[in-house]
Amino acid sequence: TDPNISVMLRDCSRVLAEHDIGLFVCVASCEAERARAAGFVASGRVDGALLVSARAGDPIMDQLMASGVPLGAIGVPLGRESSMAYVSVDDRRGARQMMSHLKSLGRSRIATVTGPLDTPGGRKRLQGYRDEAGCDLVAKGDYSQESGERAMTSLLEKSPDLDAVFVASDVMALGVLAALQRAGRRVPDDVAVGGFDDSPAATAAWPSLTTIRQPWRQISTEMVRLLLSLVGGEPHTAVILPTELVVRDSA
């Protein structure tokens, strides 16, 4: 359901096609699927593997590394940063960018809706929020729109005087906007809202969403480059890319 994953897969497929290499997609969202995916990678039928959206402690990282197949990750592989190639944006800095923007609007009671804290985006964007917030108004989400709505409802109950919210994904921000509208809070007059990703959800939102842009095409290009270098016998490296603040109507 995460629109960012389909964007990354499309771009990775496009870049690999320039090298006449195909992309085979395995879904590994439960134990049985992880076992099948790891077995397929270890079977010798692929030249390399690309791990997308892994969570801290996910056994598939160890399973894939044990296969000996060149392995790279999109997003920081929490707990395996020193032993895997990966490409990520600077999530913590991106969160600080958004927080600085919200504070520049005169907002002082800024809350946040986090992503799952066993994911790099969830963990590092929360760190960026806490670097700048001056308060700790935190509700957890799971990157779904529904979780954003639940989290915003909870925040309003606990802190009715909040005047801004930084949401760790644009999709969750759609739920935040719905909860604010239901509560009679005007955006951005009463509560400013900032998201993260600059996914299609940001421009579909009403009002349109101020957000942090991830350079999706560059992420995919760099990841393919790193993975092909691993296949060619080069050592693993990491690339951290910058984010960009995109100002629209919500903040």
| Spatial contact of 50 and 223, defined as CB atoms under 8 Å apart | yes
pLDDT number for residue 53: 78
Please write the tens of the pLDDT for every residue from 214-229.
999 999 999 999 999 9
| Spatial contact of 40 and 26, defined as CB atoms under 8 Å apart | yes
Please write the tens of the pLDDT for every residue from 182-213.
999 999 999 999 999 999 999 999 999 999 99
Query: Which residue's structure tokens are 């909860």?
Result: 179
Please write the tens of the pLDDT for every residue from 101-148.
999 999 999 999 999 999 999 999 999 999 999 999 999 999 999 999
pLDDT number for residue 1: 65
E-state strands within 59-172: 71-74, 85-89, 110-114, 137-140, 164-167
**Rounded distance between C-alpha atoms, residue 159 and residue 244, angstroms:** 29
pLDDT number for residue 73: 93
- Which backbone phi and psi does 229 adopt, to 5 degrees? -70, -35
Please write the tens of the pLDDT for every residue from 47-95.
999 998 778 888 888 889 999 999 999 999 998 899 899 999 999 999 9
pTM of the entire predicted model: 0.93
Please write the tens of the pLDDT for every residue from 164-181.
999 999 999 999 999 999
Please name the amino acid found at residue 85: A
Please write the tens of the pLDDT for every residue from 137-165.
999 999 999 999 999 999 999 999 999 99
The residue ranking higher by pLDDT, 2 or 75, is 75
What are the helix and strand counts (H, E) for the chain? 9, 10
